[in-house]
A and B are shown apart, each in its own frame.
Chain A
């Protein structure tokens, strides 16, 4: 809200200039976009600080405590990176869809269905419990992607064929996904009546740093939760980057996002691309669920996400829809989630996420418009 003040014209006799807003005719300089992102982050922290003080907290102390909790030790770093893994996937999933101006807010539901899909392999069971990891892991990942993709295709199809607003349909799919998982959680797959399944066999779990510590007896890695999923996430980021920025299909997606009418005249099949993009987006978010189940949760259970899918929206926006940039941004947000466990009230990280996003889109204004200071006398003469 800080920047609001600058738009109201100041009193004339004190300040002999008038602020005029005009649209940029040229491309904004290259340094401007990252500079604005940085400024937006600073403003977001500033506003959060004010709000924390307003509810009676000590802002600086809270921030330093958050930093320590998130990145202060090697263990904290490992935890933050572990939290970053599903965020990278969800950020990429949102970025893919946003490139085509499809507002997929359903990464959360697709994440849940991905978790369901990967658990299906173990719990159905599709393959026997003694199978090797080389059977388990690929099957679980693929199954998670398939179920995530299905959860993306449904709203994609509704949008492409019936013109249904995808924001609402993907959101409704999120609520449906949670109920769907709960059905299995409290029924067939419930372990001794608990709201969770039996623990998965070791071979169905992704390799963790603590496993490496055990095998090679490296003391310093003991108890660290970071798992193989981080490699999967980085590979996914690179692959999606190549698809979006280097392939013909990626060009079609971006063109449709920029100007759907022109894309239609150019012969691009928008209906098909809408469904395909939602499938890809859903598959990536589904992979997040599969990786989280296999790498962190180790069983099928409820409340596996503190809103990874929704945070993915902010991550995509903060990284300017660039899949590679989702990696550092996700580490930052992973730290924010970890820090949230340590500080009171626990809602602060969630509030910060919102403020960061608001601040970001507010600062994007300067990418498209510039402020000009015009002397009052000059403008009067015109």
Chain B
């Protein structure tokens, strides 16, 4: 049974990264760098938890978390699109603001752990009646509602990006804003829109942490670099939602496995070194971060071979009548 609960928590953990990664893809497809995911996430996590605690309704918390992250997205868009500042520095600055505001607003939230209503978990007890595969299916499908929302979002995002007209405009303003502008697409207006949508999605990722999957608020450790892993995933995904989703769930699996691997006395027929020398587990804790590096190297190499690159205008503000500036 252990195997199935590991799969279940891989989906749960991956969901958080999934939202952040999708947010990154939408913003960056429009030509605006999105390095602020960590800040959006932490703010979303903080605000949703705070509001859920205050109102007793986690759904209002969800909306508030999304709104707060989106508001931070407006600031990012203002700096990147209107003021045409360096998008890398803006992303960093937005992270600082998101973290700082979360620290101030979240000051007393860590006392509330266990007292806040959370977003519901969905389970299908009827599945247990099926022989053999019933129990595993029940374990895997017993998930927080956010996991299902995330799963549903993957095909929707992919369809929107590649099969719809607004999706085509979105890709156009990131690849060739001059041509899109000539076609009558409002380049900077859409960049605002997708920067804000990206922020909101990352905010949902944060909400999924604090008010759903890993409930509670632990200052900066609430996100603990998950947003940055999302930034890496976007590159691995080559700005493709389905590829990114696979990466996100794989990371979910990885982060669960490194917790489980510490527990048994025996591992692969040997004495488990992580059980007997507990501080070796610090090397295990490096794993997600090292893997982000590995995954980015893989993504970058494949992209080079297949000639898929980042959106061509990524990082470049657009003004009519000026090229490349």
Interface set of A (CB-CB < 8 Å, partner B)? 1, 4, 7, 23, 51, 55, 103, 105, 158, 162-165, 167-169, 171-173, 175-176, 179-180, 182-183, 186-187, 310, 313-314, 317, 344-348, 350-355, 357-358, 360-362, 364-365, 368-369
Contacts and interface: CB of A to CB of B under 8 A. Distances in A.
B102 interface: yes
A167 B277 CA distance: 33
A310 B98 CA distance: 14
21 contacts: A4-B78, A23-B319, A103-B92, A168-B292, A168-B296, A175-B225, A176-B290, A179-B286, A180-B282, A183-B279, A183-B280, A317-B89, A347-B105, A351-B104, A352-B100, A354-B93, A354-B98, A354-B100, A357-B93, A361-B89, A361-B90
B104 A345 contact: yes
Given A361-B79, A361-B89, A171 B225 contact: yes
Contacts of B319: 23
A355 B322 CA distance: 30
Contact of B82 (A7, A51, A105, A182): A7
Given A164-B300, A169-B293, A361-B86, A55 B96 contact: no
Interface string B69-94: 00000010011001111101110111
Interface string B122-160: 000000000000000000000000000000000000000
Contacts of B95: 354
A368 B292 CA distance: 36
B231 interface: yes
B301 interface: yes
Given A162-B297, A164-B297, A175-B286, A51 B104 contact: yes
Given A51-B104, A169-B293, A175-B289, 18 more contacts: A7-B82, A162-B301, A163-B300, A168-B228, A168-B292, A168-B296, A176-B289, A179-B282, A186-B279, A310-B96, A346-B107, A347-B100, A348-B104, A350-B103, A354-B93, A354-B96, A354-B98, A358-B90
Contacts of B296: 164-165, 168-169
Contacts of B60: none
Nearest to A310: B96
A103 B90 CA distance: 12
DSSP class of A's interface residues: helix, strand, loop or mixed?
Answer: helix
B279 A365 contact: no
B278 interface: yes
Contacts of A168: 228, 231-232, 235, 292, 296
B74 to A, nearest CB: 9
A329 B163 CA distance: 51
Given A358-B79, A365-B83, A164 B293 contact: yes
A158 B300 CA distance: 11
Contacts of A351: 97, 100-101, 103-104
Nearest to B80: A361
Given A162-B300, A368-B84, A182 B282 contact: yes
A304 to B, nearest CB: 16
A363 to B, nearest CB: 9
Interface string B272-289: 000001111011011001
A358 B75 contact: yes
B53 to A, nearest CB: 15
Contacts of B235: 165, 168
A215 to B, nearest CB: 40
Most buried by B among A179, A353, A364: A179
A186 B285 CA distance: 14
Contacts of B75: 1, 358
A362 B93 CA distance: 10
B51 interface: no
Contacts of B322: 23
A163 B297 CA distance: 8
A172 B290 contact: yes
A182 to B, nearest CB: 5
B297 A357 contact: no
B191 to A, nearest CB: 15
Which 10 interchain pairs have the tightest Cβ spacing?
A347-B103, A351-B100, A354-B96, A354-B97, A345-B107, A187-B279, A183-B282, A357-B93, A350-B100, A347-B104
Nearest to A345: B107
A355 B100 contact: yes
Given A1-B78, A313-B92, A348-B104, A182 B228 contact: no
